[in-house]
Structure 1
Amino acid sequence: MAALATTIRVAVIGAGAMGSGIAHVAARAGHVVYLYDMNADAVARGKAGIEKDLRFLVGKGKLAEADCMDTLERVRATSRIEDLADAGLLVEAIVENLEIKQQLFAQLEVMTAPEAILATNTSSLSITAMASTLKRPQRLAGLHFFNPAPRMALVEIVSGLATDPAVATTLYDTAKAWGKVPVRASSTPGFIVNRVARPYYAEALRILAERAATPATLDAILRESCNFPMGPFELMDLIGHDVNYAVTRSVFEAYFGDKRFTPSLIQQELVLAGRLGRKSGQGFYDYREGADRPQPVVEAACEGADEAVACGELGIAVPLLARLEQAGVKLKRTEGPGELRIGNARLALSDGRTATRRAAEEGTPNLVLFDLARDYASTPRLALSRADQCGDGAWNTVVGTLQRAGLAISRLDDVAGLLALRTVCMLANEAADGVAQGIASAHDIDTAMRYGTNYPEGPLAWADRLGPGFVVRVLGHLREHYGEERYRVSPLLQRHAQAGKPLF
């Protein structure tokens, strides 16, 4: 199958931000587009929004004036559903209500040609259920854009049980022709992105519930150490806690109460209080006029050591050694378990155990653990935790030595797996389960997370850099610590770890 020819007319039902954005994309690609809404004022606002976006591109020199005018000419605003009858692709972008969507598609099926493709932009509702009331359920598929549709590259092509593979292929090729990055998914709760992304919020919320650090500090760690575009708390504030909490609850309920998707009581309290984030003026942060933005907490300057001992291989943290040497710290290299000896302290990458437990088990009280960073050679920030047995002098020496290498040190209370490490491992675990359960291929899952959430790296590729065996060990320690199914290891991840094979 090939992409829909530009002679095929496209109808978009729903003229809100998402619907008008999809209409913008299709019209830019050369299709005549019907932008429909029952509310004539909504249609007018939707087309005005398209014109505003196009004019912005013209002003930036990214679109010629003639192309702007041609695109606007192809957008046909209407509040008469009968005008959509000759469309070959009809995309709904209306309220997230299964019954209302089913009623709409039943109406569209009757008035359009048998070969017309029906598509839904739903982010979480079942494609199978949506198509179940149709006479031609094979003609319906998911075409899930991300907001704002003109700028976000990813489109999830979602097949229900009855979806004709040829229809899914046509939508895939069409999305690609429209300049998007399409991925294929099966109709399961959350599809790819809204399912795999749950740990990004959940682990940060749990660490906050354990009072290990402030939201601003946790956001800064994931943003600066791992290059995520936004920290989880500022991202939830942007999305809206009503929306984010509803998606988490929807996925949790759809998976019959799977503990991995348990909603947060902290977020529930924010929703109940009406603190929905940016749109209400308050969330984790205060956006009201004159409010101060809290800053991440960093350790005060300490005196570091002039020399240290690198005992064994540090794995992904090897660049940290060169960074210390460049800062004037003299390094001696010996055999050992993969750690740094600084004064009378041990510094090691977390393995999912708390520092306190690990210090007790290994008989070394002055233990400090450091968190994951995407690139230890360039990260401006590093999170540390200390064992309860660790003395202040040992801690201060470690902090000061790392500060000499230009690192801002943020301390977390002694939580298992710290923040970045457990978050990345849980994202990889969820992604691996998605592959194992046939939701999507490893390639499509990593592509979806890079382009749908702007993650710096796909979670499966990241797990391969860490080593599947190490990820399994971290998750196993988290499960031991909490005693919960939430941290159970994906069978596929376990299998790859045992075989010594990469996931991606």
Structure 2
Amino acid sequence: MDVKAEGFAVGVVGAGAMGQGIAQVALEGGCKVVLHDAKPGGAEAGRELIFGRLDRLVEKGRLQADAVAGMKESLSIAPALADLGSCPVVVEAVFEDLELKRSIFAELEKHVAEDAILASNTSSLPIAAIARNCARPQRVAGMHFFNPVPLMKLVEIIKGPETADDVAVALAELGKRMGRTPVTVQDAPGFLVNMGGRAYTTEGMRLIHESVATPAQIDAVMKECCGFRMGPCELMDLTGIDVNYPVSMIVYEGYLHDPRLKTVPLHKALYEAGRLGRKTKAGHYRYDNKGNVLDAPSPDHVTDAAPAATVSLAEPDAALEKFLGGLGVKITASDDGSSPILCAPIGEDATSVAVRTGADHRRLVAIDLSADISKRITIMTAPGADAAARDSVAALLAKDGCKVTAIKDSPGFIAQRLRAMIGNLSCEMAQVGLASPEEIDLAMTLGLNYPQGPLAMVDAMGTRATLRVLEQLQALTGEDRYRPSLWLRRRALLGLSAKTAG
């Protein structure tokens, strides 16, 4: 199938937001589009919205007026599914209802050519289930775009168990023609991006559930220390709890309750309470009519304590000693019995460090040096800690304008836990062959706007350090939620990159 041919026609079933976006990028790619919607007048209304967006692109100078005029002529309306019969590719973009999709595909098979490709824009339903009753399941695949389609460059091409290789190749080429970057993925719950994206939000929720940190603290650390555009809590509020909670449950149940994909009761409580985020003006935060956060809580630990003049180390640590050297604080060779005791653990909590080293847990302050600390630095203390010791360290760290976030005791702080969980889940996707390491990183950066691919994130942390964080989390919590992927363990033990194939 020559998807690059002039006048190549793409049928689109469903003229809602996703269908409109798919039709628009197909038109911009030089395809003809035949648009169908079951609702009377739905396709016509969708057409007008598409034309309006194209006109605005002309106003902004991004498209030429004559080119848009040609695009408008290339869009036609199909009153019935039978009118899509001449299209070599039909993309279904209706809402997530398995029986509805099956009925659409069954009807399309009566009218399209034998070599026509039928693709579903489903974000969560298995392609195998959609194609189950099709006469020719080998021509059925997933073509999962991301919302808003014109802005999101990724498209997942999902191969069902019977999808022919040439069908996946043709859809990937069509995706390129539409200006998208295709990533070919095996059929699995949540596919690649929706499965891989579970770690960021569910581990953020876990930190709140454990009373380790507030949503504002978690979001600030992930943005300012780890380079994410949005923290997990504000991201959930933006996409909607009514979207991310059901998807989390679909993926969790689809993977037969793998604890690495489990969410927490608070997530369900927000969903059932109707605190869905910006759309309801309340989620993790409260919002005004314009989507601005009301009474935004501060993630900063502010104190008027005097900066610590003298500290000791719980154990030798060259990186921590070098960092403290830049602050001009005196480091005593041994504990003087009154000064704060500092440590910079990887994976451990302050309690574990105190027990292992014999340090006085009341004066022990743990500092996270694992991420970017130019703008914000995270500290934590064990239960029963002396607030004066904590505050004197916070004041020391804030001397040069750096903001400080003080959290409760947690194996791996905030940044280590979240990045390790993101990386571990992506290592597992590589382990089971969901996609190649390169495609996993590409998809997660394009589909979720991560600052770097999750496997690259593991390499930046260090495979051994990432493994240590997970091992400590699993040991200290007793939860298999944190069990390391074999992909990660083997590469960490061998000193290899997380992207190493084989």
User: So what's the TM-score if we normalise by structure 2?
Assistant: 0.91
Work out the CA distance in 2 between the residues paired with 1:394 and 1:384.
12
Please state how far the C-alpha of 1:308 moved relative to its aligned partner.
Answer: 7.5
| Partner secondary structure for residue 280 of structure 2 | coil
Check 1:71–1:369 CA distance in 2 against 1; reply closer, same or farther (3 A cut): farther
Contact 1:359 1:367 (8 Å CA) reproduced = yes
Q: Using the alignment, how far apart are the partners of 1:291 and 1:189 within structure 2?
A: 33
C-alpha distance in 2 between matches for 1:444 and 1:333: 47
CA contact (8 A) 1:4 1:170 kept: no
Matched with 2:153 is: 153
**Structure 1 residues 126 and 4, CA, compared in 2 at 3 Å: closer, same or farther?**
farther
Alignment of 1:376-391 (within 5 A): 376=373, 378=374, 380-388=375-383, 390-391=385-386
Gaps of 5+ in 1: none
CA 1:128 to 1:13, structure 2 compared with 1: closer, same or farther past 3 Å? same
The one-letter amino acid of 1:298's match is D
1:13: which partner in 2?
Answer: 13
Q: Which amino acid aligns with 1:240?
A: G
1:272-331 CA deviation, whole Å, 9 max, x = no partner?
1122222222222222459723222311144335688895443xx89x839x73xxx337
Report how many aligned residue pairs link the two structures.
490
Whole-Å separation in 2 of the counterparts to 1:251 and 1:434 = 13
**How many Å separate the matches in 2 of 1:165 and 1:432?**
25
Match of 1:236 in 2: 236
What does residue 321 of structure 1 align with? 323
The within-5 A match list for 1:168-207 is 168-207=168-207
Change (3 A) 1:183 1:27: same
1:257 is aligned to 2:257: yes
Q: Point out the more displaced range, 33-42 or 285-294.
A: 285-294
Q: Is the 8 A contact 2:366 2:381 kept in 1?
A: yes
Q: CA deviation digits over 1:233-263, x for unaligned, max 9? A: 1111121112111111111111112122223
Q: Distance in 1 between matches of 2:95 and 2:269?
A: 25
Q: 2:299 matched to 1:297?
A: yes
CA distance in 2 between counterparts of 1:67 and 1:306 reads 68
| Percentage of pairs with the same residue | 38
How many Å separate the matches in 1 of 2:199 and 2:445?
Answer: 15
Aligned mates of 1:76, 1:330 — CA distance in 2: 71
Q: 1:390 to 1:415 in 2, by over 3 A?
A: same
Assess if the C-alpha contact under 8 Å between 2:220 and 2:299 holds in 1: no
1:463-478 → structure 2 map (5 Å cutoff):
463-478=458-473
Q: Distance in 1 between matches of 2:387 and 2:484?
A: 36
Q: Quick check: 1:227–1:374 contact (8 Å CA) kept in 2? A: no
Distance 1:72 1:373 in 2: 53
Asked whether the 8 Å contact 1:370–1:383 carries over to 2, the reply is yes
- CA gap 1:387/1:169 in 2 versus in 1, 3 angstroms: same
Alignment of 1:330 with 2:347, yes or no, is no
Preserved CA contact (<8 Å) 2:365 2:381: yes
Distance 1:223 1:308 in 2: 29
TM-score normalized by the length of structure 1: 0.91
Q: Deviations over 1:443-466 (max 9, x none)?
A: 111111100000001111111111
2: CA distance, partners of 1:66 / 1:5: 21
Trace 1:18-417 onto structure 2 (pairs within 5 A): 18-289=18-289, 292-301=294-303, 302-305=305-308, 312-314=317-319, 321=323, 325=326, 329-330=327-328, 344-365=339-360, 366-371=363-368, 374-376=371-373, 378=374, 380-388=375-383, 390-417=385-412
The answer to whether the aligner puts 1:459 opposite 2:457 as a matched pair is no
Structure-1 separation of matches of 2:436 and 2:211: 37
| Cα pair 1:223 1:229 within 8 Å, conserved | yes
1:412 partner SS: strand
Question: Given the superposition, is the C-alpha separation of residues 335 and 51 from structure 1 closer, same or farther in structure 2, using an over 3 Å criterion?
Answer: farther
1:388-440 Cα distance to aligned partner (Å, 9 max, x none): 35433432232122212321111111122221210110111100110110101
Distance in 2 between residues matched to 1:309 and 1:218, nearest whole Å? 28
Contact in 2 for aligned 1:312/1:335 (Cα 8 Å): no
CA distance in 2, matches of 1:67, 1:334: 72
